[in-house]
């Protein structure tokens, strides 16, 4: 849920609730199904406001959101605009991290035509498949999602029959039936990585007192709409070997004078990160995401 | 639509192949509609449902497996998390904790587990939930056993 959307959602709820109240006269017959239906109705209303993946907007549109808001945020956006010039918003449906990652990655391949990187990630996808198999997942539960991702990867490479343009990539990323399948692919990959290295991840999972890493994956990684945090990001970055930069935009400030914007680079633990990205010893992530508490969008560096 | 059909067909083949693997579950697809399934599950042992065979009806949405199947008991059952009239089941994996990693077969296993481990704090059947919450285990078990005998056991047997 985005900051500014929280308010809108509240306003929306207020207009929805009275209708519900008249419909539900007999609470004995008000069932879970009804609640699920109401939830999906609210989602549908949200959906009309922002597509799964939005258009590229100048960074000034971000500043416009906070015109009457916190001065610290406005300062930070100013700092941000020195490094980045555009933002692409994603829908706040709990899948925003994975969806941002998906679009950002495929767009990068489309623009760079980096076949070496495609070969590299394809190898890692195969390893993820083996991981899931060794964890006891039946092939038919995940193979369709894997196949659809590999299909997208193939199609952003130009020069074959299935090649697609940037417009088509946009369209597919907004087509729920394709977009959600790719998001689900990342959820499987993330879950597999966390469970494979459960001893490593266990200390980082919050509130894991009366549940297991496996349970965490079942309840907070695999289901669509479950939000992601550093655990998910670390896992998917490691599993696929793709470095990710997350820039944090919040009200925190430091006493040392000038306002600065924090970022964190998730660098894959396995040292086979994309080779051609920087040439130097330091890998600079080509995926840049903006994090505001509870939501991720895509950033474009200058 | 096409994706859900393909997935269900894979599950169908898997069910045929693994028929013997889980003798407590008999899952079958409707002859003419792959989106309708029924299952017969055995009441777990050392529970009031032991000896009973319970029928479940599955209705699979077109967005399956991104969305969960709808499942309900066709056989009457006295259980805190099953609606006494409609057979609706209160189980997280059939709602927000669903993921495509589940299958119709593993949903059956989860329902059997729920029969053995009721969650009286989120009851669909308040009478049943209240018996458990008030600690009247004997009352709960005898009611549940009675309905198992009445509804889930063959009259001849």
pLDDT in tens, B30-83: 999 999 999 999 999 999 999 999 999 999 999 999 999 999 999 999 999 999
Alpha-carbon distance A117 to A125, whole Å? 12
**Ranges A12-26, A92-106, B130-144: which has the least confidence:** A12-26
| B100 to A218: CB separation less than 8 angstroms, yes or no | no
Considering only residues B137 and B1, tell me which one the structure prediction assigns the higher pLDDT.
B137
Q: What local confidence, expressed as pLDDT, does residue A28 receive?
A: 55
Contact B101 A137 (CB under 8 A): yes
Q: How many CB atoms lie within 10 A of CB A157?
A: 16
What is the CATH code of the structural domain delimited by A54-89+244-269+283-301?
3.30.200.60
Judge whether B100 is closer than 8 Å to chain A, CB to CB: yes
Query: How many other CB atoms sit within 10 Å of the CB of residue A106?
Result: 21
Chain A: give the shortest CA distance to residue B95, in Å: 8
β pairing state of A84-90 and A53-58: antiparallel
Q: Give me the sign of the Cα torsion angle A4, A7, A13, A14.
A: negative
Over residues A180-205, the pLDDT tens digits come to: 999 999 999 999 999 999 999 999 88
Considering only CB atoms, which chain A residues are within 8 Å of B101? 137, 141-142, 188, 191, 218, 222
A188 touches chain B (CB under 8 A): yes
B109 interface with A at CB cutoff 8 Å: no
CB contact under 8 A, B99 and A223: yes
* Domain spans in chain B, listed from the N-terminal domain onward: 1-152
Catalytic residues of A: 93, 96, 295
Answer whether A218 sits within 8 Å of B97, measured CB to CB: yes
Number of residues that make up chain B: 157
The pLDDT of residue B18 is 85
B-chain residues near A138 (CB < 8 A) = 14, 103
Task: List chain A domain ranges.
Answer: 54-89+244-269+283-301, 96-242
Residues of B in contact with A140 (CB under 8 A): 7, 10-11, 14, 103
Interface test with A, best of B96, B98, B106, B110 (most A CBs within 10 A): B96
Q: Which residue of B has its CA nearest to A222?
A: B99
Give, in order, the Cα–Cα distances in Å from B40 to each of A178, B64, B74, B112.
Answer: 35, 22, 10, 11
Residues of B within 8 A of A225 (CB-CB) are 96
3-state DSSP of chain B? CHHHHHHHHHHHHHHHHCCCCCCCEEEEECCCCCCEEEEEEECCCCCCCCCCEEEEEEECCCCCCCCCCEEEECCCCCCCCECCCCCEECCHHHCCCCCCCCCHHHHHHHHHHHHHCCCCCCCCCHHHHHHHHCCCHHHHHHHHHHHHHHHHCCCCC
Fold observed for domain A96-242? 3 helical TM bundles of succinate and fumarate reductases (1.20.1300)
pLDDT for A14 equals: 40
pLDDT band at B1 (very low <50, low <70, confident <90, very high): low
User: What's the CATH number for B1-152?
Assistant: 3.10.110.10
**A177 part of contact set with chain B, CB < 8 Å:** yes
In the prediction, which pLDDT does B84 show? 95
The Cα B120–Cα B122 span in angstroms is 6
DSSP 8-state secondary structure symbol assigned to residue A94: S
Distance from CA of A173 to the nearest CA of B (A): 16
Q: Tokens 């697609």 identify what position? A: A164
Q: Which residues of chain B have a CB within 8 Å of the CB of A188?
A: 101
Residue A1: the pLDDT is: 39
Which residues is B70 bridged to in the sheet? Answer: B59
- In this complex, the residue of A140, A145, A218 whose CB is nearest that of residue B11 is A140
- What percent of chain A clears pLDDT 90, i.e. is strictly above it? 65
Q: What mean pLDDT comes out for the span A81-86?
A: 95
Is residue B90 flagged as an active site residue? yes
Measured between CB atoms, does A223 come within 8 Å of chain B?
yes
Contact with chain B for residue A36, Cβ under 8 A: yes
Report ipTM (2 d.p.). 0.91
User: In angstroms, what CA-CA distances link B135 with A173, A268, B50, B130, B142?
Assistant: 53, 52, 21, 8, 13
Tally A–B CB contacts below 8 A: 54
- Among B88, B99, B103, the residue with its CB nearest the CB of A32 is B88
Count Cβ neighbours within 10 Å for each residue of B49-68 and write b for 16 or more, e otherwise.
bebbbbbbbbebeeebbbbb
A31 pLDDT band, cuts 50/70/90, is low
The predicted model gives A210-231 an average pLDDT of 93
Contact yes or no for B66 and A181 at CB 8 A: yes
């Amino acid at each position: 849920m985005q900051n500014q959307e929280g308010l809108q959602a509240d306003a929306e709820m207020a207009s929805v609730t009275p209708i519900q109240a008249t419909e539900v006269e007999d609470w004995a017959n008000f069932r879970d199904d009804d609640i699920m239906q109401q939830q999906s109705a609210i989602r549908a209303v949200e959906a009309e406001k922002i597509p799964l993946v939005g258009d590229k907007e100048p960074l000034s549109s971000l500043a416009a959101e906070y015109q009457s808001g916190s001065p610290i945020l406005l300062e930070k956006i100013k700092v941000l605009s020195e490094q980045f010039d555009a933002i692409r918003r994603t829908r706040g449906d709990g899948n925003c991290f994975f969806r941002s990652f998906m679009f950002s990655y495929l767009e990068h391949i489309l623009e760079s035509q980096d076949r070496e990187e495609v070969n590299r990630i394809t190898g890692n996808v195969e390893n993820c498949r083996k991981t899931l198999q060794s964890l006891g997942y039946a092939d038919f539960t995940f193979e369709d999602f894997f196949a659809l991702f590999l299909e997208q990867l193939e199609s952003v490479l130009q020069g074959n029959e299935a090649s697609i343009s940037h417009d088509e990539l946009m369209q597919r990323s907004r087509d729920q039936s394709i977009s959600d399948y790719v998001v689900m692919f990342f959820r499987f990959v993330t879950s597999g990585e966390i469970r494979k290295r459960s001893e490593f991840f266990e200390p980082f999972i919050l509130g894991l007192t009366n549940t297991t890493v496996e349970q965490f994956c079942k309840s907070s990684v695999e289901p669509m709409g479950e939000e992601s945090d550093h655990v998910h990001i670390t896992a998917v970055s490691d599993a696929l070997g793709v470095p990710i930069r997350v820039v944090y935009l919040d009200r925190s400030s430091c006493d040392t004078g000038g306002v600065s914007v924090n970022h964190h680079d998730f660098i894959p633990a396995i040292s086979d990160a994309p080779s051609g990205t920087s040439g130097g010893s330091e890998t600079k992530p080509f995926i840049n995401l903006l994090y505001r508490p509870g939501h991720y969008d895509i950033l474009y560096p200058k | 639509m096409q994706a859900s059909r393909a997935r269900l067909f894979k599950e169908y083949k898997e069910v045929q192949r693994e028929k013997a693997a889980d003798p407590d579950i008999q899952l079958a697809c409707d002859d003419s509609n792959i989106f309708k399934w029924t299952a017969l599950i055995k009441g777990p042992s050392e529970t009031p449902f032991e000896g009973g065979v319970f029928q479940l009806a599955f209705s699979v949405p077109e967005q399956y497996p991104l969305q969960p199947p709808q499942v309900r008991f066709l056989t009457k059952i006295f259980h805190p998390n099953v609606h006494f009239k409609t057979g609706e089941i209160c189980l997280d994996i059939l709602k927000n904790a669903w993921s495509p990693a589940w299958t119709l077969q593993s949903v059956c296993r989860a329902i059997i587990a729920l029969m053995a481990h009721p969650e009286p704090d989120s009851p669909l059947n308040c009478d049943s939930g209240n018996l458990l919450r008030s600690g009247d285990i004997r009352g709960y078990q005898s009611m549940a056993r009675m309905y198992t005998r009445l509804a889930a056991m063959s009259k001849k047997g």
